[in-house]
With several copies, the nearest count.
Chain A
């Protein structure tokens, strides 16, 4: 395993300590693993909290700040946080207006955040959960754990964050978050497996001429293995999968995220974006906003995900609203 690390056991806390050192504007509790905006709850504002396994940086810790999350609770690598982290995060940011939890749809995340929400409810805190489940590689049926939460998390956290920042009520913040999720679909492809520090070697073996299609963000193998083809062909299949699941009519407007998994150069992501843009244009869909970069990663995996979100009228001003976080910043 080739990584900048001291020991596998200290990887996460060392990285968090570095994050804390680099971002004095945030408050990082290395013991409990909770990251909050340094100045505490914002009076009159609904709180926005998210969390999940680590290894997806900048998600979620990198999205704490003005206009986005009030707190994040990073679990161990690829392991959802424990309820204590979520309760501490919510308590730290709740100003009395209630808190929205953004939870990616994984069995572990759902159960741990549910336990936290139950405890918080017993304490009299208002908590609403927004479940993100945008990944069309997984059938959303009773025969699976349901669609996974992936790239759309960026959109949900940005847009719900802006909604909370402008003073919307708890139910409104949750509602817009849910609508963003409902309007979003994603699909991902891996060129390589990733290596978790504790495993010390890649999660699966992938020959030089093969890719994993329909992967999640935890280094699992995907739905199927395929021969490596041209970017145009791969992206065309990805866009088909997304639009087959949730068709967009000609004339529709979309926000598109081309997201790197951690080991993909930016130039390749732009190349992929170019293919997506051409395919959507063919279908008469216009891209009104886009983001190309590493947002929801899988450690050192080479690969990318594409997220298409049908832009509803109120999404754009919220997307454009100022945001000031380590991982996303504009307008301030």
Chain B
């Protein structure tokens, strides 16, 4: 992954979020407060502006800037979570060009940070349910010799699968947990948006 690919990834997330804004809002309205789409749109459009305006010296700089922008523009639960995740990933990628293994380590660090901050386990019906299997799949693909594009595709597939699997769960973290059993039968919006983030990586990697 190089700097341009990192930027393309952020642009790709922004486009996906813009496209899915309404749907993310509806998913959040069903179990939360309906702002998830709007939150991410605000955050990633600012992030795109920020990473376009900067002259980064590393892949990590792009991701760190993305994270910092998310933290200072999004608010809510997803702002600190996604923001810190991108910052944690960025910290691991202090080079102009990084290998799939590095990206895997960065994604692991991001997952670790989300878990630390939010305290959610897999099965709590949060973004962790998409991110954790995605990171696993990414690492496994790289382990078995896959390139970035291949690993990212595996991660995106796993994230989408993980997001779908949140439907029957009862939420134990975040706003949806207030609903108790009524949270069952709905997709977790953050898990769905996490799948968008990883699909955007897969697409950027396939083109780059």
Contact = CB atoms under 8 A, between A and B. Distances in A.
A53 B72 CA distance: 14
Interface of A, secondary structure class, is: loop
Interface of B, secondary structure class, is: helix
B76 A80 contact: yes
A76 B75 contact: yes
B118 interface: yes
A107 B188 CA distance: 15
Interface residues of A, number: 37
Interface string B65-89: 0000001111111111100000000
Nearest to A115: B80
B73 A82 contact: yes
A82 B72 CA distance: 5
Given A79-B76, A224-B182, A198 B35 contact: yes
Given A76-B39, A115-B71, A221 B175 contact: no
B117 to A, nearest CB: 6
A327 interface: no
A278 to B, nearest CB: 26
A83 B71 contact: yes
A306 B24 CA distance: 32
B34 A84 contact: no
A75 interface: yes
Contact of A143 (B39, B73, B117, B177): B177
B79 A145 contact: no
Interface string A90-122: 000000000000000011100110010000000
Interface string A51-88: 00100000000000000000000011111111110000
A111 B117 CA distance: 8
Contacts of B81: 111
B38 interface: yes
A198 B79 CA distance: 18
The interface centre, meaning the residue of A77, A79, A218, A224 with most chain B CB atoms within 10 A of its CB, is A79
Contacts of A161: none
Contacts of B25: 198-199
A54 to B, nearest CB: 10
Contacts, number: 118
A190 interface: no
A203 B175 CA distance: 14
A275 interface: no
Contact of A108 (B29, B34, B76): B76
A79 B179 contact: no
A110 to B, nearest CB: 9
A273 B27 CA distance: 34
Nearest to B33: A218
B118 A107 contact: yes
A49 to B, nearest CB: 16
B76 A204 contact: no
Contacts of A143: 172, 177
Contacts of A203: 29, 33-34
A221 B76 contact: no
B75 A198 contact: no
A132 B72 CA distance: 24
Interface string A293-325: 000000000000000000000000000000000
B185 interface: no
A145 B178 contact: yes
B145 interface: no
Nearest to B172: A143
Interface string A110-144: 01100100000000000000000000011100111
Nearest to A78: B33
Interface in B151-182: 172-175, 177-180, 182
B178 A216 contact: yes
A223 interface: yes
Interface of B: 25, 29-35, 38-39, 42, 71-81, 117-118, 172-175, 177-180, 182
Given A219-B34, A221-B31, 9 more contacts: A76-B38, A79-B33, A79-B76, A80-B76, A108-B79, A137-B178, A198-B25, A216-B175, A221-B30
Listed from nearest, the 4 A-B pairs whose CB atoms lie closest are A218-B33, A108-B76, A108-B77, A111-B80
Interface of A: 53, 75-84, 106-108, 111-112, 115, 137-139, 142-145, 148, 196, 198-199, 203-204, 216, 218-221, 223-224
